[in-house]
C-alpha cells in the first residue's frame, strides 16, 4: 500500500497545526492514502487544545502499521521527545527533535518503495544551532540520500520554477554560476519533467543573471562566459532550452503560455513571481534525488501558530502531488 510520511518541521510553527486542521476535515479520509506523521504525540495533543480541535492520536511503531486515515485521527511515530510544545516561540532546545525526526522521515522514505515524503516548514535558525552547515530541506535531503546533485523546484497550476542556486547570499550567486552548474541543473529539470510530469519534450526557459540578460556583455559577463555556452551544449544534446532571457519579460503571458518550466539563477529572482501568482496554492518539489519529496510553499508563520489562522491548501496540494508521483 502506498503511504505518505509527514515531517511537520518546526514545532513552534504551523507545521503541527496544518496536519491537525487537515485531519479534522472530510478531505482527510477522501485522500485515500495513509499519512504517518513523525513527531511527539504530546506536541499534537497540546496544539489541538490551542486550536480547540478534538483529535485522536494513534501512536504506531513502524510505517508498515499505518492504516487508512479516519476523521480526527492522526497516526504518529515518535522518534524523540519535543522539549517544548509551545506555539510561536523558537527554542534551540528543540533543534535535535526537529533534525532527528526529519532524518527518520527521510530514511524511511528511502527504504519505502511506495512511500513519499511531505515536509512542513522548519526554522534554519533553530537547526543551525546544532548543524552549522544546514541550509534547508533540499540540500539536506541531497546529503542524506548521497545524491550527486539536487534541484529545487516550486510548482503551481500556473508555472514551474527551478533554481540554479538556492539558499546562499546574493553576493555569492555570480561566483556560483558556471557552465557545468547550468548543464547539470537543466539536465535534472528536463529528465524530471519527462519522468514525473509526463512532458515529452519540455520547453525550458533559462533566465539571465544580469539585467536584460547582460546585454551581450555590457551589464555583466556571466551570460557570455557561462550561461550561453551551457545552453549551446544542452542544445547539442537535443534539450529544448532557451538562450538566457531577461527576467523582467520572461513571465509575460505569451512566454508563460509556451513554457513548461523556468530555471532561475537565484532564489529571489523567480520565487516572488510564483508566490505572487500562486501563494498558498504552490508546492516545493525536490528533484534529482531517489525519493519523492514535496513541501508547503510557506514558512513557519510563528505569528499565527496555534491560532487557527493557518491555511491547509499548500499542504493539501503537496500531499496530492506526492500521491500522484509515487
Q: Output DSSP code: residue 42.
A: H
Q: Residue 134 forms beta bridges with which residues?
A: none
- For residues 214 and 307, membership in a common domain is answered with no
Give percent above pLDDT 90 in the chain.
98
- For residues 139 and 255, membership in a common domain is answered with no
Query: Residue 264's pLDDT is what?
Result: 98
- For residues 117 and 189, membership in a common domain is answered with no
The CATH number of the domain holding residue 257 is: 3.40.718.10
Helix (H, G, I), strand (E, B) or coil at 99: helix
- For residues 11 and 129, membership in a common domain is answered with yes
**Tens digit of pLDDT for each residue in 128-169?**
999 999 999 999 999 999 999 999 999 999 999 999 999 999
- For residues 24 and 68, membership in a common domain is answered with yes
Query: Residue 17's pLDDT is what?
Result: 98
Query: Residue 192's pLDDT is what?
Result: 97
Query: Residue 113's pLDDT is what?
Result: 79
- For residues 112 and 77, membership in a common domain is answered with yes
- For residues 36 and 163, membership in a common domain is answered with no
Q: What is the C-alpha separation between 64 and 66, in angstroms, rounded? A: 5
Task: Report CA Rg, the chain.
Answer: 20
pLDDT at 26 over 90: yes
Q: Which of 227, 139, 213 is nearest to 178 (CA)?
A: 227
The three-point CA angle 116-86-117 to 5° equals 5
**Beta strand pairing call for 160-163 and 151-155:** antiparallel
Query: Residue 280's pLDDT is what?
Result: 86
Query: Residue 219's pLDDT is what?
Result: 95
Summarize the confidence of residues 49-67 as an average pLDDT: 97
Q: What is the C-alpha separation between 31 and 124, in angstroms, rounded? A: 30
Q: Output DSSP code: residue 217.
A: T
Domain range for residue 184? 150-285
- For residues 45 and 3, membership in a common domain is answered with yes
Average confidence score pLDDT of the chain: 96
pLDDT at 27 over 90: yes
**Tens digit of pLDDT for each residue in 12-24?**
999 999 999 999 9
**Tens digit of pLDDT for each residue in 220-252?**
999 999 999 999 999 999 999 999 999 999 999
Question: Binning pLDDT at 50, 70 and 90, where does residue 286 land?
Answer: very high
56: part of which helix (H) or strand (E)?
Answer: strand 56-59
Q: CB within 8 A of 254, min separation 6: which ones? A: none
- For residues 162 and 241, membership in a common domain is answered with yes
- For residues 33 and 116, membership in a common domain is answered with yes
- Full-model pTM: 0.94
Q: What is the C-alpha separation between 190 and 188, in angstroms, rounded? A: 6
Summarize the confidence of residues 74-86 as an average pLDDT: 97
- For residues 3 and 114, membership in a common domain is answered with yes
Summarize the confidence of residues 91-104 as an average pLDDT: 96
- For residues 217 and 88, membership in a common domain is answered with no
- Provide the domain count of the chain: 2
Amino acid at each position: 500500500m502506498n503511504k505518505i510520511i509527514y515531517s511537520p518541521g518546526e514545532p513552534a510553527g504551523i507545521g503541527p497545526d496544518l496536519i491537525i486542521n487537515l485531519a479534522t476535515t472530510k478531505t482527510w479520509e477522501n485522500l485515500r492514502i495513509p499519512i504517518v506523521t513523525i513527531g511527539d504525540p504530546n506536541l499534537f495533543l497540546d496544539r489541538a487544545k490551542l486550536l480547540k480541535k478534538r483529535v485522536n492520536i494513534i501512536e504506531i511503531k513502524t510505517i508498515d502499521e499505518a492504516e487508512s486515515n479516519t476523521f480526527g485521527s492522526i497516526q504518529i511515530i515518535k522518534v524523540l521527545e519535543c522539549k517544548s510544545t509551545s506555539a510561536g516561540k523558537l527554542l534551540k532546545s528543540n533543534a535535535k527533535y526537529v533534525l532527528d525526526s526529519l532524518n527518520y522521515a527521510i530514511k524511511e522514505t528511502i527504504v519505502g518503495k511506495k512511500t513519499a515524503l511531505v515536509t512542513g516548514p522548519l526554522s534554519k535558525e533553530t537547526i543551525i544551532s546544532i548543524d552549522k552547515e544546514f541550509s534547508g530541506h533540499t540540500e539536506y535531503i541531497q546529503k542524506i540520500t548521497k545524491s550527486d546533485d539536487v534541484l529545487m523546484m516550486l510548482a503551481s497550476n500556473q508555472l514551474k520554477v527551478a533554481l540554479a542556486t538556492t539558499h546562499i547570499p546574493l553576493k555569492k550567486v555570480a561566483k556560483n554560476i558556471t557552465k557545468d552548474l547550468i548543464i547539470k541543473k537543466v539536465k535534472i529539470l528536463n529528465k524530471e519533467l519527462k519522468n514525473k510530469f509526463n512532458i515529452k519534450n519540455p520547453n525550458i526557459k533559462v533566465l539571465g543573471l544580469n539585467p536584460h540578460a547582460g546585454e551581450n556583455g555590457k551589464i555583466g559577463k556571466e551570460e557570455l562566459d557561462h550561461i550561453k555556452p551551457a545552453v549551446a551544449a544542452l542544445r547539442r544534446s537535443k534539450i529544448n532550452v532557451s538562450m538566457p532571457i531577461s527576467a523582467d519579460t520572461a513571465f509575460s503571458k505569451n512566454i508563460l503560455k509556451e513554457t513548461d518550466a523556468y530555471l532561475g539563477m537565484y532564489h529571489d529572482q523567480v520565487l516572488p513571481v510564483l508566490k505572487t501568482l500562486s501563494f498558498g496554492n504552490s508546492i516545493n518539489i525536490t528533484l534529482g534525488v531517489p525519493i519523492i519529496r514535496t513541501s508547503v510553499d510557506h514558512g513557519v508563520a510563528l505569528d499565527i501558530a496555534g491560532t487557527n489562522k493557518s491555511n491547509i491548501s499548500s499542504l493539501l496540494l503537496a500531499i496530492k502531488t506526492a500521491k500522484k508521483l509515487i
